[in-house]
Structure 1
Amino acid sequence: MTTELDERTRTELEAAAFRQLVEHLRNRTDVQNIDLMNLAGFCRNCLSKWYRAAAEDKGLEMSYDDAREIVYGMPYEEWKSKHQAEATVEQQQSFAAAQARADH
C-alpha cells in the first residue's frame, strides 16, 4: 500500500533524503567521483549541477562553485587536494565504456 503524501510533506522528505545523501558522500571521501559515475551514472558534481539548476528554477542566482561547496562541504579545490586520487587506467576505461553506452 502506498502512502499518499501532500506536496509539502513529500518535498520535506525528499529534502531530508537529499541531505542524508550529501552527508553520506561527505563522510565517504574514499569513494571517488569516477567510481560513482561508473557504478551509478552520477557523482558529487552532478548533484552540484542539479542543485544549482534547482536554485535557478526558483529564480536564485548560484554559481557552480557555490553549489559544489554545498555538496562537498568545502571548496571543491580543497576537497580535491585532500581526497581525490588519480583515476586508474581501469577506472578511466570503465568511464569511457559507460559514456559510450550512454551516447547510444
Structure 2
Amino acid sequence: MQHLNDATRTELEAAAFRRLLKHLDEHKEVQNIDLMILADFCRNCLSKWLVNAADERGAELDYDTAREYVYGMPYEDWKAKYQQEATPEQFAALEAHQARKQEQEGT
C-alpha cells in the first residue's frame, strides 16, 4: 500500500475498520473473551484504541462514547442483550493465553 497517498490509505483503513465493526455487529455471538483468547483484542480494546487515537490528535473522545460507537449501542444495553457469562473453560483459556504471551515477551 506504499504506492497510495496518505489520504487514500487513510480512507481505505477507515473503511476496513468500519467493515470490522459491522462484522463484529453481525456476530454478536462472538464474545469478547473469545476474541481475547484468539486474537488478543476485543471490542473494548477497539474502543480504547479510538480514545488513544483521539488523544494523540488532540480530539476529545471519551471511553463511553467510543464504546457506543464500537458496540453500536450503549455498552450496558449490549451487555444485557448479548454478553454471556464466561465459562470456567474460557477463563482457563484466557489465563493460558496470557501466560504464553508473558512467556514470549520474556524471551
Same fold (TM over 0.5): yes
Instruction: Give TM class, smaller chain.
Output: over 0.9
Q: Which residues of structure 2 form unaligned runs of 5+? A: none
Deviation, 1:4, is 1.0
List aligned pairs for 1:30-45, cutoff 5 A: 30-45=29-44
Alignment TM-score, normalising by the size of structure 1: 0.94
Q: Which residues of structure 1 form unaligned runs of 5+? A: none
Give the whole-Å Cα distance in 2 for the aligned partners of 1:80 and 1:61: 25
Give the whole-Å Cα distance in 1 for the aligned partners of 2:102 and 2:76: 29
Other-structure match for 1:19? 18
Structure 1 residue runs of 4+, over 6 Å off?
none
Give the whole-Å Cα distance in 2 for the aligned partners of 1:65 and 1:38: 24
Give the whole-Å Cα distance in 2 for the aligned partners of 1:24 and 1:8: 24
Other-structure match for 1:102? 101
Other-structure match for 1:65? 64
Aligned residues: 103
Deviation, 1:57, is 1.1
Other-structure match for 1:8? 7
Other-structure match for 2:87? 88
CA-based RMSD of the aligned residues comes to 1.2
CA distance 1:58–1:3, change in 2 (3 Å): closer
Other-structure match for 1:77? 76
SS of equivalent residue, structure 2 residue 59: coil
Q: Percent identity?
A: 60
Give the whole-Å Cα distance in 1 for the aligned partners of 2:94 and 2:83: 16
Give the whole-Å Cα distance in 2 for the aligned partners of 1:65 and 1:99: 26
Give the whole-Å Cα distance in 2 for the aligned partners of 1:26 and 1:53: 22
Aligned partner of 2:40: which letter?
A: G
